[in-house]
Structure formats: structure tokens, C-alpha cells
Amino acid sequence: MEQFRLPQIPMPPLELPAAVQAVLEEAEHKLAHRPKLLQLFKNCFPNTLETTTKLMDDGTTFVITGDIPASWLRDSVEQVIHYVPLAKDDADLQRIIRGLIQRHIQYVLIDPYANAFNESANDWHWNTTDETKMSPWVWERKFEIDSLCFVVRLAFTYWKETGLTDIFDASFKSAMLRILDVFRIEQHHADKSSYRFMRRNGILHDSLRNEGKGMPVNYTGMIWSGFRSSDDACDFHYNIPGNMFAVVALRQMQEFAEWVFRDMALLEELQELELEVNRGIQLYGIYRHPQFGPIYAYETDGFGNYCLMDDAGTPGLMSIPYLGYTTADDPIYQNTRRFALSKENPFYYEGTAAKGIGSPHTPPDYIWHMALSMQGLTAQSAEEKLEMINMLEATDADTGYMHEGFHADDPTVFTRKWFAWSNSLFSQLVYQAMKEGLL
């Protein structure tokens, strides 16, 4: 047996924390004039807590991605990130988020190269024939630079929003050091890394070329990544939005080192690595496009080859300001955004029902709800933000939830009816619009 899946059974629903219930009550008033949007929000905002979250006896929190019974580091962060600003005065939310951070720390210390983990050491795997160094805890071992960055993102956001330092123990610092070590090793992947991954299933984007080592790269100062945030293999292994995210994560870890652990030597090491990665982005990650001017490439190998595209997943080019690397009015980002939302992007689609960004992970002409939500979250104008909300509302296929991808001409044709990350990102956008008085 190659693939292992359990039946799609939601976790037992948690009692919604008071702060989450308060948001739903707020929506009842602010969205009363839009009953369908109100129902979508009432379904999607608590969806992570109602279907994917389990409080463990050891004080940690396990969050499955939805229709797969495993926890992705990336997905689980984005599934709960819209709750973090509500947690300052809500002990129940603090317990949930703190527990997830603590479980992430455990996972990083088990295997910093894995992207998805099991609830226990049950030896379940997405594919039982993967050629890599597996563990009974690991569901899938695709090294994606963003997985480690998301771990840092959740801890940093929790700390800044609540002011609580209860997550910063010896294990947390050990995980920081492990992340730093992996980043350093993967700056010199060919010479220093033992990571390999092959899946001999005939699907090219599921496996790394060159006997599991990936295609050759030149040294740039950036960090090598085997796979994208879609879990598809990189074409060229310096993923630019992933490295931008690493710069942000390194800046956040600097604050941990300076203000929490008071470790000045670690602070200097993190600062040095941040400068190296960022210089690599600026030297190797910008492409002079004949139509749009200088844009950020999606990937490069450092030899002068570029992958010019954008993918619906985060991190992607659209999400650069969302991640905190630069602001939405940055000129190169604006050029890049215009490229991503044009037919020069091979995964941008326009149909009779919608237009937006899809992914090589799904069939052609499939637009992702997450891409529409991210376009709204990074929009500079109220008009574009509302346009995205309207498009999302109109393309749920009357299911009451967001999906992965849907056909640009027919939203009733879609992938993944239970995809909690997409529901959470949509909720972020609608709640932001509510707070800004747009709805």
C-alpha cells in the first residue's frame, strides 16, 4: 500500500472560547444585510476549532489540516492565526494556541525536515515507500523552508499579541537552534546536507530529481528548499517567497534572542544569516521583466535560470507583505503583483465565474479560494478588497465553506470540500473588512 488515508472524520468540536463567540455575535450585526456572507463567516471562522483541533493530555494541541488526519506545520499555523489577536484576555484561546506552539516545538526537535506529523508515534505515512529518513511521528518528510518559518511566526505573534512568555523554555530555545542549524546547512545543500527525498510514483512534482538531492544550485546566500508550500517539488531550489519568509523569521528570532533569552552571541549569528539571505534575494531573486519591469521571481537556481509564476499557496509572491517582508506599496512588489495577476503568470486563470491564481498542484483553470483571500488581504484599495469578498461569496458552490480549487467557469466543480486553512484565510479577510468598516 502506498498511500494511507483515514476516513474524513472531524475532531470532536471544542466549546468555542468566549472571544470567538463575541466575534460571531459582532458579525450578526455587521453582516446582517448580507445573509449569505454572514452564514459563510459563521461557518468558516470557527471551523478550525469545530472540526480540526484536539486538546491533548500533555497540554499540547493537535490540529489536523482537514480531510487528511495529520498536522502540517504550515497549515496548522494559518488555521489558527486569526484567533491570536483575540487571545490576550481569553484563557481558553491561550491554552489552545500555546499548546499548538508547544507541539510544534516537539515536532521540530523530532525532525526539522518534515512538513507534516502524526498525533502520536503511530507510524502512519502519506506514502509508505518514500525514500528518506522517516520516523513513526512523521506523516510526510518534504522539506519546505516555510514550515519552520511558520513555527516561528505563530510563537512570535502569540508573544506580541498576549505579552505572555510561557512558551519560552529550554525546548523552545533548542528548537530555535535547530532551525538556525538547518538554515545554515541548507545554504550549502550540495556540500553539507544529508537530506534526500524520492517518491517513485510517477508524479514528477512529488519527488526530487537527481536521486533525491534536487537539481544543482549555485551558492547565493539563500536557503535551499526541496518543496513549495503546495508540497510540490521546486523547479529551482531557491524559492524566493520562502526565503523572504526566512528573513522575517530570522528577524523575529532575533527578538527572542535579545529580549527573551538575552543571548547576544545567538543574536549576532541570526543577524548575520538574515543579511546573507536578504542579500541573496536582492542579488539573485529579482528578474527584469520586459513588460512589468523588475519583479521578484518565484524561484531561481543562482545560475541565471528563473521560474516566473505565482502559486496560490502561502508563501507566494502575492503574500509578500502579508508575511511582513515588505509593504504593499513597495514598487517591486507592485510590479510583481501586476505580473501575478496577469496571463504572463502561467497559473492565472480567467473564466465566466471568477478570475484569479491557481496552482500546478491542481488542474488547469482551477482558481484557489486562498489566492482570492490573499489578494484581498494584500489589496491597497477598498474596492479590490470588496471585489474579492464578493467573488469568494459567489463561488462557494452553496456549500457554506471555502475549498481548495474550483473551475473558473463552474464553481460547483472543486477540490477539497473540507480544507480548514482556506476557511481561516477567508475569515481573516472578512473580519479585517468588518474592522475597517467596509462591511
The string of pLDDT tens digits covering residues 208-225 is 999 999 999 999 999 999
pLDDT at position 9 is: 63
**33 within 8 A of 400, measured Cβ to Cβ:** no
In a domain, 104, yes or no: yes
Answer whether 0.75 is exceeded by the pTM: yes
How far apart CA 210 and CA 199 sit, in angstroms, is 12
Spatial neighbors of 279 by CB under 8 A, at least 6 apart, are: 221
CA distance 77 to 81: 6
Mean pLDDT of the chain: 96
pLDDT in tens, 340-399: 999 999 999 999 999 999 999 999 999 999 999 999 999 999 999 999 999 999 999 999
At residue 8, the pLDDT reads 59
% of the chain surpassing 90 pLDDT = 94
More confident residue, 26 or 5: 26
Going by pLDDT thresholds of 50, 70 and 90, the confidence category of residue 273 is very high
- Please work out, in degrees rounded to the nearest 5, the angle formed at the alpha carbon of residue 208 by the alpha carbons of 202 and 211: 95
What CATH number did the domain enclosing 367 receive?
A: 1.50.10.10
Q: List, for residues 317-329, the tens digit of each pLDDT value.
A: 999 999 999 999 9
Q: At what angle do helices 240-255 and 264-284 cross, to 10 degrees?
A: 160
Q: How many domains does the chain have?
A: 1
Instruction: Tell me how many degrees the CA angle 147-148-150 measures, rounded to the nearest 5.
Output: 70
pLDDT tens across 78-90, in order? 999 999 999 999 9
Q: Is residue 12 part of a domain?
A: no
Q: Is 1 inside a domain boundary?
A: no
For residue 348, give its domain range: 18-435
- Residue 13 pLDDT class (50, 70, 90 cuts): confident
| Residue 13 lies inside a defined structural domain of this protein | no
